[in-house]
Structure 1
Amino acid sequence: MDKLVIQPTELAQWHSLIHEAEGICHTQLGEELQSYLVFLLIRYTTTSELANAILALEYLNSLQSSGKMREEQLRDVGDKCLLYSGLFPGRAERRRVKISYYVHLGVGAYASLAHVLAGVKAKIFSKLSDQFVLLMDILHAIREVNTDKPTLQPLQAMELWNDTGSAHAFATLAHYTQAIPIKLTVTSPAASMGRTIRRGKSSHH
């Protein structure tokens, strides 16, 4: 990776980092998503609001609120989930949950917000919900700018790819294994029992 170029302002620095991360992920966010992500990063990297957030509780509280308060609470939950899953994936391990827990919670928060809004705002948050995993991948890649060290540990990458289809998690697995990863299929006990019963029945014919 080329040497990190320091930009004259925080705004320019984040734009530059996101641009480099897009290159790592071989994608482009588009102006709307890129701008949202830049101002999200500026907002939260200068505060301590993330430190003690209990997001599941915040999400439930937002669903019981109404009007402007509900909108702000849903946006905050979605934003914090995006930062937890993307910039601070180690927090999930410390709290003994999967990174995908924050992904699913964030996707739901943004989708709920899109549902209660209208017009341009609704479209933006609908897009944030739909592209949440891609945005998370970009944040992972930002952590990897100017370093060869992957953001995710092998087990984290495997779980995240299985749970969300994250392209960057897939690339991380390939980096660790030097091979093409194969997705795990979890079979429920009920399904396994059903196959056993059907095999048992067929053996009598």
Structure 2
Amino acid sequence: MRNLDLQPTSTAHWHKLVCEAEQQAQRSLNEELQSYLVFLLQRFLNRPEMTGRILALDYLKSFRIAGQRQIGKLRDVGDICLLHAGFFPQRARRRRVSVNYYVDLGIGAYYQLHHNTAHQQGQLYEHLYEGFVPAMDVLQTIRNMGDSQPLLDPLTAHELWQHTDSTQARQRLRDVSNGQPVFVGKPDQSTQRH
């Protein structure tokens, strides 16, 4: 079991955890993504019910509204998808979808935000859609810290790795196979990876 290292504030605690997970996952997030993850984790702790929504409907509904309401709805979709893919990938199977569903929907929401918001805010969303998979890997690493039970089952890990080149999924495949995973399929599949 992992020792708790308490920080003076919850923000400092989450930031330290995100930095530790980055190192363990061998992913480097820029400062903007680190900060966003910290505040996303704090927001989720205050609103755990936000993960129970039907995201595809929220995504589609966002196109019928405009302004700040649209931005808020798309941001929530992207954030919840990031939480599902990072913290709760096992829920995908129970909901009869692939973890890649959350990855693609989340990237799509952040992509829409990037193209529909002002320059500075649009840049944040650009970093989020481009850095979705590394951020997901960091969240999965946080979730795995101190847990002896792997977060990803082998099939989910394979699907996620094939689709996104996730470092966490690749590591899970190495752990169960004692080998290096290789891509199987059409040669042009590598262009679909995020």
TM normalised by structure 1 equals 0.86
Q: How many residues align?
A: 187
Q: What amino acid maps onto 1:35 in structure 2?
A: S
CA-CA distance at 1:141 after TM superposition = 0.3
- Asked if 1:151 is matched to 2:151, the reply is yes
Determine the structure 2 residue equivalent to 1:181.
181
Q: Extract unaligned runs of 5+ from structure 1.
A: 188-205
In 2, are the aligned partners of 1:4 and 1:145 still within 8 Å (CA)? no
Determine the structure 1 residue equivalent to 2:125.
125
Determine the structure 1 residue equivalent to 2:5.
5
Cα distance in structure 2, aligned partners of 1:106 and 1:93: 17
Cα distance in structure 2, aligned partners of 1:119 and 1:27: 26
**RMSD between superposed Cα atoms in Å:** 1.7
Cα distance in structure 1, aligned partners of 2:23 and 2:6: 18
CA-CA distance at 1:28 after TM superposition = 2.1
Moved more, 141-150 or 35-44: 141-150
Determine the structure 1 residue equivalent to 2:87.
87
Larger radius of gyration: 1
In 2, are the aligned partners of 1:78 and 1:106 still within 8 Å (CA)? yes
Cα distance in structure 2, aligned partners of 1:62 and 1:49: 20
CA-CA distance at 1:163 after TM superposition = 1.4
Cα distance in structure 2, aligned partners of 1:51 and 1:117: 24
The 5 Å alignment of 1:18-167 reads 18-167=18-167
CA-CA distance at 1:51 after TM superposition = 4.2
Q: What amino acid maps onto 1:53 in structure 2?
A: R
CA-CA distance at 1:7 after TM superposition = 2.2
Q: Extract unaligned runs of 5+ from structure 2.
A: 188-194
Cα distance in structure 2, aligned partners of 1:139 and 1:103: 13
Q: What amino acid maps onto 2:163 in structure 1?
A: D
What SS does the corresponding residue of 1:170 show, helix, strand or coil? helix
Show CA shifts across 1:29-88 (max 9, x none). Answer: 121000011001100122133243000000000012111111111101000000011011
In 2, are the aligned partners of 1:25 and 1:168 still within 8 Å (CA)? yes
Determine the structure 1 residue equivalent to 2:192.
none
Cα distance in structure 1, aligned partners of 2:70 and 2:8: 37
In 2, are the aligned partners of 1:4 and 1:146 still within 8 Å (CA)? no
Structure 1 segments of 4+ aligned residues over 4 angstroms from their partners: none
In 2, are the aligned partners of 1:59 and 1:74 still within 8 Å (CA)? yes
In 1, are the aligned partners of 2:78 and 2:105 still within 8 Å (CA)? yes
TM normalised by structure 2 equals 0.90
